[in-house]
Amino acid sequence: MNRPAPAFVSLAPFTWEVNFGLGPEHREELRPELTDLLHRVFIDHPDYDRDYLPHFLAADIYLRAFRGKELAGHFISELVYVDGEPLLHLILGLAEPAASGRGRLMPQAMGLCLRLAAQAFGDEGFFVALRTANPRVVAKLWDSPWVRFYPRPDWSAGDQRLRALRPRVCGRLFGADRCSLEGTVFHEIYPAPPWRGRAPQHRDPRANRFCAEHLGPRDAFLFLGPTRAPLEDLPAAGLAWPAGSGKISA
């Protein structure tokens, strides 16, 4: 299968390499780089590598960020349907600790993925899911202008449609036996505590307390929410889902 060539997008201060899936050779080229970054900044465990690296490298959207010639991060997403609902799954985000301006990486990556997902699904409204135990990420999700992520600081989980979708997303993406009954917390989802047991902290104490109160050392939240229509002010207006790739179908 001939995959589309990567697109390159400049969003100050980074240049983004946007891959529409990785071919077999490209996967093997990037595997050492991804593994090194994963082990240094998140989790270093053979069971995690075995269970998740193949999934990461087979994703639909694979982003690499650079500042000049230096790698700044990897951000990986997939496009799926869950019980007929279109879903952008933000699988993994890793930033180089030394990357200047790294706080801008996640919003830029999410914006790029949302732009592509809106074109690929052919529908203005869809859901977005992300699994995390990082208070810094939690705070950014609550502040997102494009998606209303749940749970919120008051622990609300959204409307009935969203609450009904949660356990189905858990089952489709991670296995229903790995999440709480309401589909909000994954218990002991990691084989070892990420960040060597020292989760990054955020300047917003609400996010730090939220994670400390609801998560064990190997747990994570499932954040899930609908896009806010209309999706406006997304970055990279010229970035397009590859011609000939068609829409993602249920």
The domain tally of the chain equals 2
Same domain, 21 and 110: yes
Within-domain flag for 209: yes
Same domain, 109 and 174: no
Task: Using pLDDT thresholds of 50, 70 and 90, give the confidence band for residue 121.
Answer: very high
Handedness of CA 107, 135, 217, 177 (dihedral sign): negative
Within-domain flag for 238: no
Burial class of 132 by CB neighbour count within 10 A (0 to 12, 13 to 18, 19+): buried
pLDDT exceeds cutoff 80 at 2: no
Q: Is the peptide bond before 230 cis (omega within 30 degrees of 0)?
A: yes
CATH code of the domain containing 54: 3.40.630.30
Same domain, 90 and 185: no
Tokens representing residue 116 in the block: 């592509």
Within-domain flag for 76: yes
CA 158 to chain centre: 20
Same domain, 182 and 157: yes
Within-domain flag for 245: no
Indicate the SS3 state at residue 70. strand
Within-domain flag for 239: no
Average model confidence (pLDDT) across the chain: 92
- DSSP labels, 214-225: H--TT-EEEEEE
Within-domain flag for 244: no
Question: The whole model's pTM is what?
Answer: 0.95
In the prediction, which pLDDT does 1 show? Answer: 60
Q: Render pLDDT for 10-36 as a digit per residue (tens, 0 to 9).
A: 999 999 999 999 999 999 999 999 999
Q: Render pLDDT for 83-95 as a digit per residue (tens, 0 to 9).
A: 899 999 999 999 9
The rounded percent of the chain whose pLDDT value lies above 70 is 95
Strand extents, DSSP E, 152-195? 185-186
Q: Which domain holds residue 175?
A: 131-231
Same domain, 112 and 51: yes
Which amino acid, 217? P
Task: Using pLDDT thresholds of 50, 70 and 90, give the confidence band for residue 199.
Answer: very high
